[in-house]
Amino acid sequence: MHGQDVTLNGVSMRYPNGFVAVEPTDLTIRAGEFFSILGPSGCGKTTILRMISGFLDPTTGSVAIGGRPMEGIGPNHRPTALIFQNLALFPLMTVRENVAFGLEARGMAKAERRRRADELLSLVALDGQGGKRPGELSGGQRQRVAVARALAVEPAVLLLDEPLSALDLKLRQHMRAELKDIQRKTGVTFIYITHDQGEALTMSDRVAVMNRGRIEQVGDADEIYNAPSTAFAATFVGEQNRFSGTVVETDSETALIETPLGRLSGINRHGLKRGDNAHLFIRPERMAVALNGAAAGLDNRVEAQLERRDLEGPFLNLLMRAGGHPVTLHVTNAGDGPALAPGQPVPVGFRRKDAIVLRAED
Amino acid sequence: MDGLYRSFGRPLTFGLFVTVALWLFGLILLPQLSMIQRAFQVEDRGGVSAQLSVEIEKLYVRQFEIDQQLRAIEQPAAAQPTAPSPFAPSVGGAPAAPSPNDPFAGLSAGKAPAADPVETEKKRQALIAERADVVARIGELEARESGPAAVDLRYSLENFTSMTAVHFQIFIATLFYALCVTVLAFLVCYPVAYAVAMAGTPDRAALLLLALVIPYAINELLRIFAWVMILERQGLINSVLDWLGIIDFAAGEGFRFVASNGAVFAVMVYAYVLFMVFPIYNTVETLDRNQIEAARDLGASTWRIHTRIVIPHAKPGIAVGAIMTFMLSAGSIAVPEIVGRGMHPDWFSQVIYRRFFEADSWNEGAAYSLSLLAACMVFILAVMAVFKVGIRDIAR
C-alpha cells in the first residue's frame, strides 16, 4: 500500500438548483500526507470529498489521482476508499464479511480474503472479533471496522468524512491517535474532512480551511493557528479577540488601525494600505493584564472592565468588556497574579507582533 | 386493558371489544370452522335423498302438466298458446300427454274435445283425481326429504381422497402457476420499488406512488377486461402489429394472446403488482443509502450491490410481497375465468367454484378449498424458512 497525490484543477460544483457548493478550486494533496479540510457545515468540504471519490462529477475542472485524470471513472474504479460519517457498515454481514466485501467484489477467493480480512482486523486491533455483527461492537470498534474495510481494497487515497463525530470526547481523542498511527503505518494518503479544529490541527500534516465553497488557507497547524491569512480563518480556528477599524498608518511589517478603543497595531502580512477597512485579531492567551508593572513591552493598551472570572484549572478565563466590546483573556494560573474582582476596571494589552491585521471582507 | 379503558373510556372500550370479538368469531373462526366441518363430512349423493329429490321433481312436472290440460279443457281458446314443457316425461300415459317431438300436439289436443262433452267431462274428473293424488304424494315425499332420516351424512376423509387424478394435477399445476406469478411479480416489482425508494426527492416518490395507486381505484373486473381488450385477437396489440404491417387482419392473421396461461400470468401480475411493490418499497426505503455508496466505493458492481446489500435488507418485504401475491393468485378466480375463457389449463380455483356451484357439492368444494389453504400455509412457512424471516420481521 502506498499513497498517491491528488490534484484538483479549477474544480467547482454547481448544483442544478443554482447553488454553488464549491467555487473553482486548485489544490494539491501530496502523496502519503494526512490532509484535513476544515470548515463549518455546508462549506462544501463534503462535496470536494465526493468529487474526489467519484460520486459527484465536478461542474468545471478536473480531478487527478497519482497524475491520472479521473474523468469518467466511477467510484468503484478509483484508487480511493471513502469512510462515511455514519460509517455505513453492512449490518447484516459479520465484521469479517464487512472487511472482506471489497475483496469479494474483486473476485478474490474465499480463503484468501478471509486471511486478508483477519490481517486487517489485527492491524486495527480487532483480532478475534471477525465473527460478530457490527451491531454488537462499541462505537470505537465500529470505527476501526470501517477503517479496515476501506483499507482492505488497498486504496492509494483514503477519504474520511467526519468519521469521529459520533464518538464521545475521550474515544475521539483516542481514535485520533489511532488514525494517525494507521496512516503512518500504511503510508496511504488520508484526506480528512472535519469541522472540529482540534482534530484537524492535531492529526494533520496540512490543513485547508474552507468557507462558503472556497478554500481560504492551506498550511500546517502552526501556520493556520499563528498566521491566519483571512478573517474567516482567523476566527474559525481557535478563539480570537477582534477589533475593527481603518488603517491609518503602515510600515514594512506592521499596520496601525484606528478603532473606537483607540489606535492599535499589529502585523500586516497581506499588504493593507491606508484607508482600508481592517480587523485586528489577537488570541486571548496572547493578551495580558497591564497592572503592577506588567505593562512593559505591551505595545497596545485597552481599558477594559472585568465582567467575569472563570477558573479553568491551569488557566483563568477573564471575560471583559471594553467600550461595549467583549474581550477575553486566558491567563496562566500562576497563583501570584493580581486579585481581580468583577466590575473592576482593568487595563489590558498585547504585543504588536502577536496581533494580526487582516482585511475586513464585508 | 387498563390502558385502553383509561384512554378511550368505558363505551368505546366496550365497543372495541365487541367489534374485535365479532370480527374474530363471526368473520374468521365460525366460517372457517363450518368450512372445515363440511370438508370432512360426506354427503351420500347416490343415496335416498338424491332419489327423493328426483322423485319430487318429477311429480311437480306432472302436476304442472295436469294443470295445463285442465285449463285446456275448461277454456279451450285460452289454452292455445301454452306449449307443454318439452322436458315433461309421459308419466301415467295420459291420452292428452303431448309428444315432446311435436310442438303442435297441444294445439290439436285442445281443439278436439269440443266434439264430445261427455268424454271431456270424464277426462276432467280423471285428471282432478290424479292431481289430488300427485299433491298428496309430493307432500309426503317432501316431509321425508326434510326429515333427518333422509340426510345421509357421515364424517370421513373421502372428500379429499376421492379427488380425481385430473383435479390433483390441476391442484399441483395451480401451485406452480401461482409460484410463477409470484416470481414474475417480483421481477417486475423489485426494480419499480427500488426506483421509487431511491427517487431523488420526496415529491417524485409521491408522484410515482400515486401513478402506481391510481389504477387500483378502478374496479378489478374492469382492469381485467381492459387487459382482455389489449390481448384480444382483434385487440390492441394485434392492431398495433397490423398497423406496423407485421400481421394482416384482412388475411385473418393475428395472435391469440388471451386464453393462454401467459396471458393469465400477465394479467395476474398486473392485478397484484401493488401487493408486491409496497412491502418491498417500504423495506428498501429504510436502507441507508450510504451503504449502497459504500458498496460501490469498495468496487462492487450493480448486480453485487443488489444481491449483497439491497435484497438482503429488503428480505422481509420480499417475503411479505411473495406471500400476498402467492395467496391472491392461487385463489384468484376472476382472472383465469375471464382471461382464460376455459381454453387454457384450468386453475384450481375454477375447479373449486365448479364443485360448489355446478356440481353442487359443497362438501367436496370445502375439502378442495381446505387443501388449497393448507398448501398456501405450507408455502408461507416455506418462504419464511427460505428467507430466514420471522413473524417479527414481517410485522416490522
pLDDT digits (tens, 9 = 90+) for A138-173: 888 998 899 999 999 989 999 999 888 878 888 888
Q: A76, B312: Cβ pair inside 8 Å?
A: no
The pLDDT score that the predictor gives to residue B46 is 58
* B195 exposure class (CB count in 10 Å sphere: 0-12, 13-18, 19+): middle
Position with higher pLDDT, A1 vs A2: A2
pLDDT score of B143:
81
Chain A nearest C-alpha distance from B291 (Å): 5
Strand partners, B218: none
B49 Cβ partners below 8 Å, 6+ apart?
B43, B145, B150, B151, B152
Instruction: Report d(CA A334, CA A162) in Å as an integer.
Output: 37
**pLDDT for res B104:** 47
What does the pLDDT read at residue B91? 45
Q: Are A347 and A304 in contact (CB under 8 A)?
A: yes
Residues A220-261 have pLDDT tens digits of 999 999 999 999 999 999 899 999 999 998 888 889 999 888
CA–CA gap between residue A198 and residue B216 (Å, rounded)? 57
Q: What is the pLDDT of residue B154?
A: 76
So what's the pLDDT on residue B151? 56
A298 touches A354 (CB < 8 A): no
Q: How confident is the model at residue A310 (pLDDT cuts 50, 70, 90)?
A: confident
Cα separation, B100 vs B222, in Å, equals 44
Alpha-carbon distance of A333 to A316, in angstroms, equals 6
Contacts of A88 in chain B (CB under 8 A): 288, 290-291, 293-294
Find the residue in B nearest to A75 (Cα): B297
**Residues of A with CB below 8 A from B304's CB?**
104-105
Across the interface, do B298 and A74 touch by the CB < 8 Å criterion?
no
Q: Which residues of chain A lie closer than 8 angstroms to B296, CB-CB?
A: 74-76
How far, CA to CA in Å, does A317 sit from each of A307, A308, A313? 11, 8, 10
CA distance linking residue A12 with residue A44, whole number of Å: 10
Q: Which of B388, B380, B386 is nearest to B175 (CA)?
A: B380
Which of A92, A93, A102 lies closest to B299 in CB terms? A102
* pLDDT digits 0-9 by tens, A103-134: 998 888 999 999 999 999 988 888 888 899 99
Cβ atoms of B277 and B193 within 8 Å: the answer is yes
Grid coordinates in use for B354? 365448479
**Helix, strand, coil percentages for chain B (3-state, nearest 5):** 75, 0, 20
Mean pLDDT by groups of 10 residues along chain B of 396 residues = 80 90 91 87 69 85 90 68 48 45 47 66 87 89 70 75 84 91 94 86 81 83 88 84 82 77 88 89 90 92 93 91 91 87 82 85 86 90 84 70
Say whether A101 and B295 touch across the interface (CB within 8 A).
Answer: yes
Instruction: Quote the minimal CA–CA distance from B208 to chain A in Å.
Output: 21
Nearest to B340 by CA among B266, B248, B235, B289: B266
Mutate to test the interface with A, among B203, B292, B296, B298 (most CBs of A within 10 A): B298
Angle at which helices B362-386 and B165-198 pack, to 10 degrees? 40
Element (H, E) at A117: helix A110-123
Q: Taking 60 as the threshold, does the pLDDT of residue A269 lie above it?
A: yes
Measure the CA–CA gap between A125 and A174, rounded to whole angstroms: 13
Looking only at the bridges linking them, the beta strands covering A189-194 and A157-161 are: parallel
pLDDT of A346 over the 80 cut: yes
Give just the sign of the alpha carbon dihedral B243, B249, B254, B256: positive
Residue A262, beta-bridge partner list: A259
Quick check: ipTM above 0.90?
A: no
Nearest to B290 among A84, A93, A102 (CB): A84
pLDDT score for B201:
78
Residues of A near B (CB-CB distance < 8 A)? 53, 55, 74-77, 80-82, 84-86, 88-90, 92-93, 101-102, 104-106, 149-150, 152-153
**How far does the CA of residue B294 sit from the closest CA of chain A (Å)?**
7
Query: Which of B288, B297, B304 comes nearest A81 by C-beta?
Result: B297
Q: What is the pLDDT of residue B194?
A: 92
Helix (H, G, I), strand (E, B) or coil at A63: strand
What's the pLDDT score for residue B114? 55
- What type of residue is A326? P
With vertex at residue B308, the alpha carbon angle to CA B303 and CA B313, rounded to the nearest 5 degrees, is 120
Q: What residues in B contact A149, CB-CB < 8 Å?
A: 294, 298
Find the mean pLDDT for residues A285-297.
79
Work out the pLDDT band at A362, boundaries 50, 70, 90.
low
Q: Which residue in A85, A90, A165 has the most chain B C-beta atoms within 10 A of its own C-beta, making it the best mutation to test that interface?
A: A90
> Per-residue pLDDT tens for A46-100?
999 999 999 999 999 999 999 999 998 988 889 999 999 889 999 999 999 999 9
* Out of B291, B293, B298, closest to residue A105 by CB: B298
Kindly report the backbone phi and psi dihedral angles of residue B221, in degrees, each rounded to the nearest multiple of 5, phi listed first. Answer: -65, -40
In this structure, what C-alpha cell is assigned to residue A166?
Answer: 459520533
B280 CB-contact burial (10 Å; exposed 0-12 / middle 13-18 / buried 19+): buried
**Cβ-based contacts under 8 A for chains A and B:** 62
Comparing alpha-carbon positions, the chain B residue that sits nearest to A106 is B299
The label of the residue with cell 472540529 reads A196
